[in-house]
Each structure stands twice: as structure tokens, then as C-alpha cells.
Amino acid sequence: MAEMSTLCTFLFSLLLFASQPLILPTAADGRWQLLQKSIGISSMHMQLLKNDRVVMYDRTDFGPSTLPLASGKCHNDPTNAAVQVDCTAHSVEYDVLSNKFRALTVQSNVWCSSGGVMPDGKLVQTGGFSDGELRVRVFSPCESCDWHETPNGLAAKRWYATNHVLPDGRQIVVGGRGQFNYEFVPKNIAADTFKLHFLSETNERGDGT
């Protein structure tokens, strides 16, 4: 009899709870707000930095953006089918607090590149497509800083690779299309690539990825 009474009490409480209107937490009452109608570029990649600014960057082989670079700055790529000399930005830094953005100069194709934020706050970004596949790019957060690129900073061409920040201040760069190996950046210790048999063993036959 006691068990039946307990069950009835539970069912009554459940029905009473179900009949009450659902009150969502305050956080669920948020809403989207348009802060900028356009930042001038499409953002293929986006990274929040430790200074609460966001760096955005896009591929450079899809035509010019609507955000011009400072006078005299242009991206030159004779192999680019869309535009060989491009004087528009394909990267911006967005300041969250001031709701302002500024053009950055990325000088190589970052399409499906990879990277990560280092302990000192620098964004290290590697590889990409075409003229970007061997690049190492570094963005140091400051009021007037811009991308710094090393043309042959990688030992192997990297497209669709994976990066991971290591405790010693380097990044390990793993794989990429057609690359069954890994390497480290910066090249202060090991300058070569190292085979990773797992990647080749799990690669589908006839697939270069």
C-alpha cells in the first residue's frame, strides 16, 4: 500500500511539473545582432586571439575582395587564374570591443591551411594551396602588426594538414593531401619530415588525400 501511495505521489508531481510553462535560463534569451554589414572579405578561417581580437582570412584565388589594401601592397601570383595582381585584402583583424576592423596583408593562398595560437599569443599558420603550400605565416597581436610570411618555412607541401601546439613552444604539422608524414615548426630543432605509417596505412587505395 505504501509503495502504491509513493507511486501515485510521484505521478502527481510529474503531471504537475509537466503542466507548468517551460522557463528557459536567461542565457537562452540571447539574440543575434548585426555589428557590421560587411568586413570586405569572406572568412574561410577565423581565429580568436588572446587580446580579444579576431583574425579572419580567406583564399586568394577566387578574385579580389571589396576591401583595398594600403597603397603599394599587392598579392602577386602568376599562376592565379582569377587575378594575377591583387591589391585587395584577404585577411582582416576585428576588434571586438571597438567593433572596428582593419585590412591585413596575406601574401599567399591560405585555402584549407592549418595552424594554432602559441602560448605567447602569436598565431602561427601553415600551408595552403598553390603558392601557399610551403608557407609559414605568423601574426603577432599588436596595434599595427601584419602577417609575416616565410616562403619555404615547411619541408613538405601541406594542404588540409593538422597542427597541434606542443609544450616546448613548437607546432607539430601532421599530414595533408598526399603527405604521409609530419614535421615541426619553427625549424629550430628538426628541419626534416618524419614518416607516419599510420597515415599511409589508413589511406584509401588510389586516394591521394
Cβ-based neighbour number of residue 85 at 10 Å:
11
Angle, vertex CA 154, rays to CA 119 and CA 146, nearest 5? 55
What does 77-98 look like in DSSP terms, one character per residue? -TT-SS-SEE-B-SEEEEETTT
Burial of 27: CB neighbours in 10 Å, binned 0-12, 13-18, 19+: exposed
Q: How confident is the model at residue 57 (pLDDT cuts 50, 70, 90)?
A: very high
Q: Could you report the per-residue pLDDT of 137-170, keeping only the tens digit for each? A: 999 999 899 999 999 999 999 999 999 999 998 9
Percent of the chain with pLDDT strictly greater than 70: 82
Cell numbers representing residue 10 in the block: 510521484
Taking all residues of the chain, what is their mean pLDDT, rounded to a whole number? 87
Strands 136-139 and 171-174: unpaired
What does 157-184 look like in DSSP terms, one character per residue? --SS-EEEE-TTS-EEEE--TT--EEEE
Q: How confident is the model at residue 88 (pLDDT cuts 50, 70, 90)?
A: very high
| Predicted pLDDT of residue 81 | 83
- C-alpha 2/C-alpha 102 separation (Å) is 72
- C-alpha 154/C-alpha 169 separation (Å) is 17
Beta bridge partners of 48: 54
**Whole-number Cα distances in Å, 62 to 37, 80, 116, 155, 188:** 21, 9, 24, 27, 35
Q: How confident is the model at residue 82 (pLDDT cuts 50, 70, 90)?
A: confident
**What's the pTM?**
0.80
Q: What is the mean pLDDT of residues 52-78?
A: 90
| Predicted pLDDT of residue 109 | 94
Q: What is the mean pLDDT of residues 127-133?
A: 95
Please determine, for residue 95, whether its predicted confidence score (pLDDT) is greater than 90: yes
Cell 534569451, residue located: 29
